[in-house]
Each structure stands twice: as structure tokens, then as C-alpha cells.
């Protein structure tokens, strides 16, 4: 066989075929998820040591920042009287010698063994006439030569060194040389994009001759990753368009007219636009698959209800699914309020109409109440149902579900969405789907994570909101509590959000509880303070929320259970304790709980005096902007994409090299390319190698390749 090697073939060659990889090494590599030659070749260097910029020890002058490469001669470790660890290392090259000192890095004595060659970056000082570096950056170079040495992420635990990995990838590349690695993209295209072919790119990223080679190679391989994801999304969308059919709705009805006539406010332009986008979708038999994104308070609920009512007006049902009980209850209340007084046609009644029936279904609803709701869903007497994942439990069926709204979908898996779809209709038609998210997603991330959804954006807040004032204050600053008390005196309410201690409900609950006790006895004595956290029962949570909503509580001390959806316009102060522990998106969501009424609202971000630079950058971002989209972009810059979506979402874990923050241009190119490469009948048949690659990629992820690619 002389055809170039496909990725599928590379993925079928186990690493144990490489020299020096026996059973033990194979297991170690397995621990870092390197099982095949493909895995190894896509285990990319973390950085490079450019030895052309290396200084000789004999030439360095104290005070200089340099990179030197030297051999370890001896390592000593000791502790100071106050238990600080000190590791001292002597090194030399053929021109001189150097002493390293590491403070509080006891593990260095294990890492730096006599005889090792290491690259060091840092400032050189003179100490007792001897060159010395303190806490330098260290890269283990091993015995590797070459002008530029790739440094791999290594694993102490698995006992893998960067030179082991370097050696194996060198060998793997050498053995690929004869056949080459398949290049599925047309040569002109690569030429236009100024990219090397894949064989060159893999070689250059592992064994570059220059740093400019690295960046070209990186671009080629970034495009590879992004293109695979985009192709899958594109094909999935084409499949859905051709295979699924839903219900075509009429969009003019008395129900909708009277809904809009009764609203106490005018729709924003953004709401009008979004509603027409939704209507266009709902008028056709192709099931809607739309993402509705809009900042906190932008008025998404109204758009959602409009979509749901379109279903009801045509004699079908709608469902709204929320990630938590608190949110489901909140949505339920909003829908009931917005839809008050609406009637639907019903021939079985004397007047030919009956009140619109909206029900809530969560795990809190039990016994006969539950039974009644479930029956109503099954026989069609319930028009709209709001619920949590309780909606998708076994034994629940709708009479004719035709519109589904899912709120905060990043908390649900794709699977859960599709269960709701399957349960929806006995006739095999798909309900229309509207996914709402209040976490604004930067454009490139949206293209990757929600790439197969159409996107509507509410980019305008309803008028009459007074912008929230955001203040960063230090722990113990009493102005916060003075402010809370004075707002309460004027009849307003406040939230106090407690630090997230760790991923533990128990600890979070404790901290909320102790904060409540402390405040009630101290700063807020005499104030009616309530407590809300995830470990309370559903009923207790609801009681507390009701009490707060009805003004029977002045202050609600809570964990992040209030993060989304809670809507009490009379609450004007948000105090976030240990604000440095929260991410930008979360702080923005929390802040969005206030500023919902006509009164001026304030958000206090409380932290210790000293916080990390990153935390400071996040808090400054919140102080400077209230625009969720701007904050999302900032968040992407500061933290990378990993935190934006959850691992199960397509896209995130398929990207080893590409970064949605750094490679925006390539995300867009990949998307355009995918649109160009997939033909009108939704296939890649003119691009055989690419088609095979997508099939392999999808199979590897255990997705249903057959469904995606036929032929």
C-alpha cells in the first residue's frame, strides 16, 4: 500500500508498535489518553526551547534575563527554620557554572536529577561571586538535539517525560514518511490560506526548524480540528432539515392578538424582530432549532411565551423546561402573570372557550397533584407545562406537544433535549425547539457549541431600567450594610450571596447558614433575613422564595441557587461575598437579579484586600461594564473557552490545539469551508477523504455516524 495514511489508519496503530513502548509504557501513555499514533501526533508540544537564543554561561552578565542550557551536577534540598523548603542545584555547561535556588518547590529535588540537561529561563544574579538564578522557569530538554526543542506536557504521575514523548513522536513521524499523511483539503485551498499540507504540518509542529514554521503548522492543525467540528455540525443540520418534520403553525390567531393587547408594555424592537424570526420557523414543517440569547432582563420569557402560545392557538401544547425547581417556579409565575385572562377555544364547553391552562411539574409536585398534571398533559387539557427534568421522566406523554422551550440549555445534555422531543409526539413529528440562554456566548463559541442552531439575539433591554451601580468593596467595609439598611428603610429588599466554598452543596449550605446567623445577630439585626440554598427541600425553597417575593423577608441570604431567573423587582441591592471566587458570567448573572424595577439598584462585590490578579481583572470587568456580550468576550479572553461550555457539548473536548479565543478567524473560516464543502444534498461525496475522516471522527466520539453520513 502506498496511499497516504489516513487519520483513521493512524488511530488504528497502537502506541505499543513504537520502539521502547512495552506493556508498562503503554499503560502510562493510556493514563494520559494516548493510545494510538494519532493520539501521540496530536499530543502537541506545550512550548519550544529555541536553542538559537541560548546563552553560554561563560558569557552571561549578572542582571540579564537569559535562556541557558546546562547539565545538572548536584541537587541539595533543605528546610529553613520556619519550614520553608529550599532546593539548591549546581549546573554547568562547557563554559561555566550556575547555581539555582528554588524556594517552596520541594518537588524540584525529584524533578532535577544529576546528569539531566535542562533549559532555564530567568534573570541571572551574582551571589558570593557565583552566577545564580532564583525560581527560574525550567524545561527538561533531555538528550534531544536540534535548534528548536519541543517541550511536551508531561505527566509525573504516569512517569512520562517530555523526551520520551518527543522520541516517540519523532519515531512515529519517521515511520509515516514513506506514505505521508493524507491531505483531505484541495491544494489550491491550502495555497490560498497559505497553509502547509498536513504531513508538513505534523512534522513542523513536533520538529520545527524555526518558530515561524511552528505557527504555520499550528494554523493548519487548528483548521483541522475546527473543520471537523464544523462539518459535523453542518451535516447534522442538513440531516435534520431533510429528515425531520414538525407542525406548520398558523401565526395569526385571536389568542395571540389578545395576548399582545393585554401586555402592559410595548415590545422592544429586538423582541419584535426575534418574534418574527420564531414565527418564520414555526410556519414551516421544518422543526425550529433556534437559540434565543439575550442578556439578563432582556425579556426572553415573553418571546418564549409567544412561541408557546402559537402552539396552543393551533390546538397543540407547549412545554418550557428549566434546569432547577426555583427557576421552573419562577417561569411558571411569569407565564401565569403574562398570560392572565387568556382563553382558548374549546368546543366541549358551553361558551366554546375555557381559560388557558398552565401547569408546573417538578419533583416537588407529587401525589394526586402530580397525577392531575400528568393526565392533563396526556389528554390535552393542559396547554402549557413548565417544569424541570421531571418533564422527561418515564411515563410522561403529551397529547400533542409542538413547541418546546428549554431554558439555560448548557445545563442539560443534548440527550435530554432529544428525549423531550421523542416523548413529544406519537406521530413521530418533532416539536419545534427554542433554546434560551442568558449567558451571552461570544460569536465564535456560539458557532462551535451551538453551531447547528439558528441564533436570535435580544440585544436591547426594555426601556426604563436604571443602570445598576457596581462597587468593589473590602471585607468589613460597613458602607455595604448601611446601604442595605437604608434601602430596607425605604421599603426595598436585598440579596446576599455567599461564597462558593467548593463543589459541595454541604459546605455552601453551611456558609450561607453561618452568614445568615452572623448578619442577623450583627450588621442586620432587627431585619427579617431568610435563607435559601440547594440543600433545602423543594417546599422549603418555595416557601422562602414566596416570602421574599411577597415582601415578608427583607433580605435573602443565598447560595448561587438564585443565580438565574429569580425575578423580584423590589430587590435593589445585591451583595456578593467573596466575589473573587466567582467567574465573570456568574457575577453578571447574579448582578442581574437586581435592577429589574424602576428604583436605582446597587451591586456590591465584596472581597478581601488582597486578591489574585485574575480575580481583580474579573471584578474590574464587572465594574466597567453591564453589557453581557462585552463581558462574555472579556471572559473568553481571560479564561479561555473551557469554562464557557460543559464538556459534553460538542466542540469543547475535540479541540486540543484550537482556542476559541485565540483562533476566532479560523473558526469563521472553518465554518465557511464546511458550508462550501458539504453539497446541497447534504453530503461530502466529492471529498472522499474528508468524508471518511468525519465518519471516523464521529465514530470515535461514539456518535451515530450512520445517521450523519449515508452512502
* Interface residues toward Mg ion, by CB under 5 A: 301
If residue 87 lies in a helix (H) or strand (E), which one and from where to where? strand 85-93
- Given the complex with ligand ADP, which of 380 and 462 has the nearer CB atom? 462
Smallest distance from ligand ADP to CB 703, Å: 32
Contact 458, 274 (CB under 8 A): yes
Site for ligand ADP, residues 447 to 486, rule: CB under 6 A: 462
With contacts defined by CB under 6 A, name the span among 164-172, 291-299, 494-502, 640-648 that binds ligand ADP.
Answer: 291-299
Residue 299 near ligand ADP by CB under 6 A: yes
Helix H or strand E encompassing 221: helix 211-243
Residues 6+ apart with CB under 8 A from 409: 291, 417, 435, 436, 437
Nearer to ligand ADP, 43 or 300 (CB): 300
Is residue 226 part of the contact set for ligand ADP (CB under 6 A)?
A: no
Min separation Cβ 555 and ligand ADP, Å: 21
Q: Which range of residues in 72-80, 161-169, 200-208, 292-300 is near ligand ADP by CB under 6 A?
A: 292-300
Q: Which is nearer to ligand ADP, 192 or 261 (CB)?
A: 261
Cell 418533532 maps to which residue?
430
CA 205, CA 259: separation in Å to the nearest integer? 60
Grid coordinates representing 176 are 509515516
Contacts of 638 (CB under 8 A, 6+ apart): 584, 614, 617, 618, 621
**What is each CA distance from 441 to 25, 234, 437, 580, in whole angstroms?**
41, 19, 9, 22
- Between 278 and 690, name the residue whose CB sits nearer to ligand ADP: 278
DSSP string of 91-160? EEETTEEEEEEEES-TTHHHH--TT-EEEEEEEEEEETTEEEEES-EEEE-TT--SSEEEE---BTTTTB
DSSP H or E segment with residue 220 = helix 211-243
* Whole-angstrom distance, CA of residue 561 vs CA of residue 547: 16
Query: Can residue 323 be called a binding residue for ligand ADP (CB under 6 A)?
Result: no
List the single partner that 297 binds among ligand ADP, Mg ion, none, CB under 5 to 8 Å by kind.
Answer: ligand ADP
When the beta carbons of 296 and 391 are compared against ligand ADP, the nearer one is 296
- Least distance from ligand ADP to the Cβ atom of residue 342, Å: 16
Applying CB under 6 A, which of residues 57, 70, 149, 302 lies at the interface with ligand ADP? 302
Q: What are the grid coordinates assigned to 103, written together?
A: 524556594
Examine residue 682 and tell whether it contacts ligand ADP (CB under 6 A).
no
Residue 265 interacting with ligand ADP (CB under 6 A): yes
Of the candidates 297, 323, 499, 595, which one interacts with ligand ADP according to CB under 6 A? 297
Secondary structure element (H or E) that encloses residue 593, with its range: none
Q: Which does 559 bind (CB under 5 to 8 A by kind): Mg ion, ligand ADP, none?
A: none
Minimal distance in Å, beta carbon 456 to Mg ion?
A: 15
Q: Does 318 bind ligand ADP (CB under 6 A)?
A: no
Least Å distance between CB 484 and ligand ADP? 23
Q: Closer CB to ligand ADP, residue 133 or residue 335? A: 335
Nearest to 594 by CA among 570, 578, 618, 576: 570
Relative to beta strand 384-387, strand 317-321 is parallel
Closer residue to Mg ion (CB): 112 or 458: 458
541-570: contacts with ligand ADP (CB under 6 A):
567
Please report, as ranges, the residues that interact with ligand ADP according to CB under 6 A: 265-268, 271, 294, 296-302, 438, 462, 567, 596
Amino acid at each position: 500500500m502506498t496511499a497516504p495514511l489516513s487519520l483513521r489508519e493512524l488511530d488504528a496503530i497502537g502506541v505499543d508498535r513504537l520502539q521502547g513502548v512495552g506493556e508498562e509504557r503503554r499503560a502510562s501513555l493510556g493514563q494520559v489518553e494516548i493510545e494510538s499514533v494519532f493520539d501521540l501526533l496530536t499530543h502537541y508540544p506545550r512550548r519550544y526551547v529555541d536553542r538559537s537564543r541560548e546563552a553560554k554561561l561563560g558569557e552571561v552578565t549578572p542582571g540579564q534575563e537569559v535562556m541557558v542550557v546546562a547539565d545538572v551536577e548536584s541537587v541539595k534540598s533543605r528546610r529553613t527554620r520556619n519550614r520553608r523548603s529550599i532546593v539548591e542545584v549546581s549546573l554547568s555547561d562547557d563554559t561555566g557554572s550556575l547555581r539555582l535556588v528554588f524556594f517552596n518547590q520541594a518537588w524540584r529535588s525529584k524533578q532535577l536529577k544529576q546528569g539531566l540537561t535542562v533549559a532555564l529561563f530567568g534573570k541571572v544574579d551574582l551571589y558570593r561571586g557565583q552566577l545564580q538564578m532564583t525560581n527560574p522557569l525550567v524545561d527538561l530538554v533531555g538528550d534531544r538535539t536540534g535548534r528548536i526543542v519541543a517541550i511536551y506536557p508531561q505527566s509525573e504521575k504516569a512517569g512520562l517525560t517530555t523526551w520520551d514523548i518527543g522520541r516517540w513522536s519523532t519515531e512515529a513521524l519517521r515511520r509515516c514518511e514513506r506514505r505521508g499523511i493524507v491531505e483531505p483539503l484541495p491544494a489550491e485551498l491550502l495555497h490560498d490560506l497559505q497553509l502547509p499540507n498536513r504531513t508538513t504540518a505534523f512534522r513542523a509542529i513536533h520538529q520545527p526548524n524555526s518558530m515561524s514554521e511552528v505557527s504555520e503548522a499550528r494554523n493548519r492543525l487548528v483548521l483541522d480540528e475546527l473543520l471537523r467540528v464544523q462539518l459535523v455540525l453542518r451535516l447534522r443540520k442538513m440531516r435534520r432539515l431533510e429528515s425531520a418534520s414538525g407542525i406548520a403553525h398558523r401565526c395569526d390567531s385571536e389568542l395571540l392578538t389578545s395576548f399582545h393587547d393585554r401586555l402592559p408594555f410595548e415590545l422592544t424592537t429586538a423582541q419584535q424582530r426575534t418574534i418574527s424570526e420564531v414565527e418564520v420557523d414555526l410556519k414551516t414543517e421544518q422543526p425550529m432549532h433556534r437559540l434565543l440569547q439575550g442578556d439578563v432582563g432582556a425579556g426572553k420569557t415573553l418571546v418564549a411565551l409567544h412561541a408557546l402560545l402559537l402552539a396552543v392557538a393551533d390546538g397543540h401544547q407547549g412545554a418550557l423546561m428549566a434546569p432547577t425547581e426555583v427557576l421552573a417556579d419562577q417561569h411558571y409565575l411569569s407565564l401565569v402573570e403574562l398570560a392572565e385572562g387568556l382563553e382558548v377555544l374549546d368546543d366541549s364547553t358551553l361558551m366554546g372557550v375555557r381559560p388557558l391552562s398552565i401547569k408546573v411539574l417538578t419533583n416537588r409536585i407529587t401525589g394526586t397533584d402530580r397525577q392531575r398534571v400528568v393526565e392533563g398533559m396526556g389528554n390535552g387539557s393542559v396547554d402549557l407545562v413548565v417544569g424541570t427534568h421531571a418533564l422527561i421522566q418515564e411515563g410522561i406523554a403529551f397529547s400533542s406537544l409542538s413547541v418546546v422551550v428549554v431554558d439555560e440549555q448548557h445545563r442539560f445534555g443534548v440527550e435530554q433535549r432529544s428525549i423531550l422531543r421523542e416523548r413529544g409526539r406519537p406521530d413521530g413529528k418533532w416539536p419545534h425547539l427554542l433554546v434560551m440562554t442568558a449567558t451571552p456566548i461570544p460569536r465564535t463559541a456560539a458557532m462551535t457549541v451551538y453551531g447547528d442552531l439558528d441564533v436570535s439575539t435580544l440585544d436591547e433591554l426594555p426601556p426604563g431600567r436604571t443602570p445598576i451601580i457596581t462597587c468593589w468593596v473590602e471585607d468589613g467595609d460597613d458602607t455595604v450594610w448601611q446601604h442595605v439598611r437604608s434601602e430596607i428603610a425605604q421599603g426595598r429588599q436585598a440579596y446576599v450571596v455567599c461564597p462558593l466554598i467548593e463543589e459541595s452543596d454541604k459546605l455552601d449550605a453551611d456558609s450561607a447558614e453561618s452568614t445568615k446567623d452572623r448578619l442577623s445577630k450583627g450588621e442586620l439585626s432587627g431585619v427579617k433575613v431568610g435563607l435559601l440554598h440547594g440543600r433545602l427541600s423543594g417546599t422549603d425553597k418555595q416557601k422562602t422564595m414566596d416570602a421574599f417575593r411577597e415582601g415578608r423577608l427583607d433580605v435573602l441570604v443565598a447560595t448561587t441557587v438564585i443565580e438565574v431567573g429569580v425575578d423580584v423587582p423590589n430587590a435593589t441591592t445585591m451583595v456578593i461575598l467573596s466575589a473573587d471566587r466567582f467567574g465573570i458570567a456568574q457575577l453578571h448573572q447574579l448582578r442581574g437579579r437586581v435592577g429589574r424595577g424602576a428604583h436605582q439598584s446597587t451591586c456590591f462585590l465584596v472581597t478581601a484586600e488582597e486578591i489574585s490578579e485574575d480575580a481583580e481583572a474579573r471584578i474590574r470587568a464587572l465594574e466597567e461594564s453591564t453589557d453581557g456580550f462585552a463581558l462574555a468576550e472579556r471572559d473568553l479572553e481571560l479564561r479561555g473557552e473551557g469554562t464557557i461550555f460543559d464538556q459534553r457539548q460538542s466542540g469543547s473536548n475535540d479541540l486540543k490545539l484550537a482556542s476559541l479565543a485565540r483562533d476566532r478567524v479560523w473558526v469563521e473560516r472553518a465554518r465557511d469551508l464546511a458550508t462550501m464543502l458539504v453539497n446541497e444534498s447534504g453530503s461530502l461525496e466529492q471529498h472522499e477523504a474528508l468524508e471518511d475522516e468525519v465518519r471516523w471522527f464521529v465514530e470515535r466520539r461514539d456518535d451515530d455516524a450512520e445517521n450523519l453520513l449515508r452512502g
